[in-house]
Structure 1
């Protein structure tokens, strides 16, 4: 069985792993593509390119400022200022939250929509939806990466650059927007060039539209360039560095923004700020947008389901397992690789089968292989920054291996032990004959405090000792034992004499 399972896994994995199959030539490592060679710049050339991009962005802003100086100040704001808090991975739930905020700001004719951002990245599709809404918003969008310690990683780069006003707090950083696979590595081959070129062109387009450094945006995608807030301001990636939201409101007052072809000055001093909270469902989904948490819930779910199949009627493991799997797979917070799900399911099958099949550890080894492989591939889908921590994967593999080995060791010990109860435990006992056993007939013996029918190939007199060979239903097959001592706790002759006057009772009747 283990051999066939191994062949099945290797056949399924043939197109997903870069190791040779039996009889297959060793695959060659992919050669470096010409496109990547052209991106290798010296530090001096790269610095010059960044400075040139910053200078171009400043010139564009200066041209806007030349016309903005003629704009009259505004005395009153159009409405209140709405505020959103976007923290954690960028998912469809967070995209829905931002789109709802933009729609509410539009309906209330808000003066501005402020988004407090702290994200390591997320889904590319959800990011595109948010950026598209930013660019078409009739209300100015202000993104502040803060407070200190926050970051605008990967998807956060596009969200920050697409805002009408981009600000960061001291002690924050922005960058590292190169598309990666769900395993955390580079996408290989032609697909890497396609995805990288497409994303880099999108980043340059957003930066150019908002008067930001398009050269840096390109490098953030191609080379995962990341910079702190002060350098981001010097490179014209953001508009300002502010330490608090109060300072942000002070600097926004009188600042000129362009919305739907119209440029006007913002009014933020003394304007009330209304925070829009996520709904309960959105908070739950956003909480689940942690690949490590999702991975743990997935393993707990699989273990609960298999435990319910193994011991029917427990109910609680099955319910807990179903809920965990529903949260991970049903809610679809993060896209999963279904081949990886199959591998993890197969791993659980192997661990359970190890209990019933003598494979000498082969099923456990196969289960560990499937578990590790499936875990690395679980969120390996295009356009996703989510990945499971490698330490967690190996920790889970070690835990399941230890569990399987422990169960196997306990089972081996139980197989070697003599039975302690039941009919199997009666074989080998030395007992006394209560009623003589004739040849071809039945007598009675006293065994473990009860009377049992007994047969023997030779006649045995009452009071003699016999050894139980085996049990056939309620009848013991015995043989004469002799006068030697027994280690099996036989009854002595004097004990028989004490009960000699006992009535003839049916087998299994207690004395």
Structure 2
């Protein structure tokens, strides 16, 4: 009887233990369902929209797609930028398989000009309190004297046309070209607004009249989707929203995402400096004047090398050349300069310029996300090219120290034999000598007798100025 009770108690204890374990497992499973289920990639844009910004965002979107993250957040504070860069960014956002939330932050930031277009082109348009957007009228980067309204806007340095003051008020461009550019910008932003069901009429006013809205007013007028105080608040508010992707509609699940920040790297910072409007302008001026000075003074090389490199960088800064083409052009230009140094000695001007162009071109061409070309490879290749350049320069310096082997310079210091006794004429002794099997007229400041060995001091036309060899025995040779 006692044994059966003990067995019964043991069974009950085992059942209670198993039940406890099952409860703990269920609790853990519930906790796992509440745990973060993915990653949100945070990219930051702080400054003008330039080719460097475009390269950074395009690489970030591509890497996010490769890593299969759930959301890309673009934290943006921009005064505007190049229209060509802006359009490339929007194309990448529209084609991205990962939803993009553009978030104007922090408080006090703005999404002016090109930033407004990017905000309208994103699947989620969000703003932080005390931010604003608008002023999306396209303007050109510069104008000619006598065109007062063609000056660049500090908020919107985009290479487009801009009309006069009365034309701006009426929402039309001044010239036919300006009108075409303005209407193109209006159609573009209206198409973006209608794609996501946002306020297209206000978007048109932002382009035609350069109007602005703060965050709360933008939310009330259906210009943006969310006003969030920070990134976690943004993720909570957009959780469960349905967004329109290139492949169709998608429901966002963002409440428990882990935010992973990817800041611009040193390469992006370098490209940002090169694409600054002021730097790009001076690069273009230096490039043109360098080529002009080289053509005016052929063979000077230094202005031509500097001008060619600066001109390629300026074409990249103005996005005439894309990142890949600009980097490839600089690499080829650098290699051409290094090879030219071997055939046309320039005391290092061509070689050093080529080395600089090669390194800068490699950095521009290098993929900032995937590191397709690593820095050690670039450094090693540059070191090899620098070693070849150093060898070539030292070789040419050594060649300059060698004795001349042809021409009249080669005759200096040569020994000959007097064919006759020199006779005095006008305070000089004149006669003939045999040099290298040839008969030469000769002059001397001292008497020379037939058969004496003489040394050539200089060549004047067909006459050699000589001196007696014994007189020069104690004189060190200059060659």
Q: What band does the TM-score fall into relative to the shorter chain?
A: 0.3 to 0.5
Question: What TM-score does the superposition give when structure 2 sets the normalisation length?
Answer: 0.48
Question: What TM-score does the superposition give when structure 1 sets the normalisation length?
Answer: 0.45
